[in-house]
Amino acid sequence: MSDDHPDFDHPDVVLVPHGPMLLRGAESVQDLEGTVHAVDRPVVALCRCEKSSRLPWCDGTHKVIPR
Partner 1 sequence: MRLPKPRGGLSEWLVARLGEPGLTGSAPGADSWDDESISLWTLHELSFRGFEDADDRAEWDPDLLGVRRDLETALEERLRARWSASDASAAAAPSPAEVPSALEAIVAADDGPSLADRVRRHADRDQVLELLRQRSVYHLKESDPSAFVVPRLPVRAKAALMALQFDEYGDGDPNRLHSHLFARGLEAVGLRAEYGAYVDDAIPENLEMNNAGSLLGLHRRLRGAAMGHLAAFEMTSSLPSRKMVQGLERLGLDGPMSAYYDEHVEADAIHEHLAARDICGTLAEDEPDQAVEILFGAWTCLDVEARFATAMLGVWEEQS
Q: Which residues bind partner 1 (CB under 8 A)?
A: 8, 14, 16, 19-20, 22, 40-45, 53-54, 57-61, 63-64
Q: Are 19 and 61 in contact (CB under 8 A)?
A: no
Integer Cα distance of 14 and 48 in angstroms: 12
Per-residue string for binding with ligand FES, 5-44, x by CB under 6 A?
Answer: --------------xx------------------------
Residue 56 makes contact with ligand FES by CB under 6 A: no
